[in-house]
């Protein structure tokens, strides 16, 4: 499943995420923590930006694609 959390600063997003992550990892589930900004990613356990986690090039053009190899561990997790 996928979760998306949005809210103003100070509303408990990081606390909620940390709780969800701890719960799921406690159940031995794979959790990929992804955020849209580097600052937000730093607040999450194991957090990465979306472009870093999914190998999305920063400079997008008509030919830009992600660089996830079909047989890689990341491809298997996704």
Average of per-residue pLDDT across 12-32: 92
Each residue of 39-62: pLDDT tens digit?
A: 888 888 888 988 888 887 777 677
For the question of whether the overall pTM of this predicted structure is more than 0.75, the answer is no
What's the number of domains the chain is made of? Answer: 1
- The per-residue pLDDT for 26 is 96
Task: Determine, yes or no, domain membership for 4.
Answer: no
Instruction: Residue 48: count other Cβ atoms within 10 Å of its Cβ.
Output: 16
Share the mean pLDDT of the chain.
Answer: 85
Q: Between residues 35 and 60, which one has the greater pLDDT? A: 35
Q: What angle do CA 13, 7, 11 make, to 5 degrees?
A: 55
Quote the percentage of the chain above a pLDDT of 90.
24
Task: Determine, yes or no, domain membership for 2.
Answer: no
Task: Determine, yes or no, domain membership for 8.
Answer: no
Residue 22's domain spans which residues?
13-77
């Amino acid at each position: 499943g996928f979760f998306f959390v949005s809210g103003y600063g100070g509303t408990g997003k990081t606390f909620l995420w940390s709780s969800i992550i701890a719960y799921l990892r406690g159940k031995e589930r794979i959790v990929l923590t992804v955020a849209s900004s580097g600052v937000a990613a730093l607040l999450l356990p194991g957090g990465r930006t979306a472009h870093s986690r999914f190998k999305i090039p920063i400079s997008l053009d008509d030919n830009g694609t992600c660089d996830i190899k079909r047989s890689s561990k990341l491809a298997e997790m996704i």
